[in-house]
Amino acid sequence: MNAVPTLARHVNDEMGKVIVGQSALKTECLIVLLCQGHALLEGVPGLAKTLAVKTLSRLLRLEYQRVQCTSDLMPADIIGTNVVNMATGHFQFHKGPVFTSLLLVDEVNRMPPRTQAALLECMEERQVTVDGVRHDLASTFTVFATQNPIEFEGTYPLPEAELDRFLVKIRVPYPDGAEEARLLRKVHGGFDPHDLDRAGLAAVDPALLADARGEVRAVNVEDSLFTYIVHLVRRTREWPAVSLGASPRAAVSLMQFAKAIAAIDDRAYLVPDDVKQAVLPVLRHRIVVKPEADLEGVTSDQVLQDVVRAVEVPR
C-alpha cells in the first residue's frame, strides 16, 4: 500500500502552496474523494473553502463547476433542461452544472426545498432524471456544499434526509495568528488566489486516485471493530441529550472514513483510534441535540466526545 499516503502527501504539499494552514480541511476533503462521498463545509466567509475545492480539482485533474445558491434557484438551473433545437424542431438536453466531477454548491442552505430534492437525487444516485429520461453523472461526481454558520435570514435548513447524504461535515475554523500573518506576507509578495496558474501546482496522474480508492476499500477491519462502530452509532440513539441519533448509513460512513484514515497512515488494517478520529466529522451533522440541551449550550461535538468516552474500546 502506498498510493494513498503518496497522494495524501502530494495533495497536502501542493495545497500548501495556495492555502495557509487548514490541515484538517485539506486531509478531510481528500478523504471525501477517496470514499466517493460528499462534504458539507461550514465556516464563515473568507476561510478558503472555495479555494480548497478549486485547488483540489487542479491537482487531481478533475472538472470543476460552481453553483451560487439563491432563494429562486430552480432544479433546471442545476441539472439542466430540454430545449427545442430550432434547426431540427426536436428537444435537446442541455446539461446543467451537476455534469462535472467536483461541484461546489455555495451557500447550500439558500437553495429552496424543491431544488434541494433535485440535488439529493444527484448525490444519492449519481444520476438525474429529466422528463422521465435518466442521465448518468460521472463516477467522480462529488458535492462540496458550503454554508455560513451564523447567517440564517433567507435560508432553508437542510432536512435530516439530505444531511445524512453527506459523508462528513467539515468545520473550517479561523487560522491562528501566525498562519494569518503568513497569509498576509504571501499576498504582499504577489500571490493571487484567483490566478492558480501562477501557483505552480503539480497535478497527479488521474490513475493514482483510482489506485488510492482501491487501497482504501482493501483496508482490513476486524470483527471487534465492526461491533465497536455499531456500539458508537447505537449509543447516539439512546443518549439523553439527543432527540435523533445516527442512522445505519452513518455507521457505514464511519467505517469508510476510518479506513481512509488508516490508509493515509500507510496501514492495511483498522485500529480503534481511526474510528475515534472519524467520529466528529462523520457524525456531528447526523445527530440532533434536544432543544433543552441546546439552550444549555450543549453541542453535537460535545455529545459525541461523551459518547466516545462511554463506549468500551475493543482490545
Residue 114 within a domain = no
Averaged pLDDT for residues 249-266: 95
188: Cβ–Cβ under 8 A, 6 or more apart, which residues?
none
Residue 133 within a domain = no
Please tell me the predicted confidence (pLDDT) of residue 159.
78
11: buried, middle or exposed (CB in 10 Å: 19+, 13-18, 0-12)? buried
The CATH number given to whatever domain includes residue 12 is: 3.40.50.300
Predicted confidence (pLDDT) at residue 34 exceeds the cutoff of 80: yes
Please tell me the predicted confidence (pLDDT) of residue 38.
94
Asked if 292 and 227 sit in the same domain, the reply is yes
Which one-letter amino acid corresponds to residue 236? T
Averaged pLDDT for residues 258-265: 95
Please tell me the predicted confidence (pLDDT) of residue 153.
60
Domain carrying residue 224:
219-310
- Give the chain's mean pLDDT: 88
**What's the domain count of the chain?**
2
Asked if 223 and 299 sit in the same domain, the reply is yes
Instruction: Express each pLDDT in 158-199 by its tens digit.
Output: 778 778 889 999 999 888 889 889 889 988 888 887 777 777
Residue 126 within a domain = no
Asked if 300 and 171 sit in the same domain, the reply is no
Asked if 237 and 291 sit in the same domain, the reply is yes
Asked if 47 and 175 sit in the same domain, the reply is yes
Percentage, residues of the chain above pLDDT 70: 97
CA gap 221, 118 in Å, rounded: 35
The angle at the Cα of 161, spanning 95 to 307, to the nearest 5 degrees, equals 135
Please tell me the predicted confidence (pLDDT) of residue 156.
66
Inter-axis angle of helices 248-264 and 23-34, to 10 degrees?
A: 110
Please tell me the predicted confidence (pLDDT) of residue 252.
96
Q: How confident is the model at residue 200 (pLDDT cuts 50, 70, 90)?
A: confident
Nearest one of 278, 255, 277, 259 to 269, comparing CA atoms? 259
Residue 94 within a domain = no
Averaged pLDDT for residues 216-230: 95
Entry pTM = 0.89
Q: Tell which of 209, 242, 262 closes a domain.
A: 209
Predicted confidence (pLDDT) at residue 82 exceeds the cutoff of 80: no
Asked if 202 and 259 sit in the same domain, the reply is no
Asked if 195 and 225 sit in the same domain, the reply is no
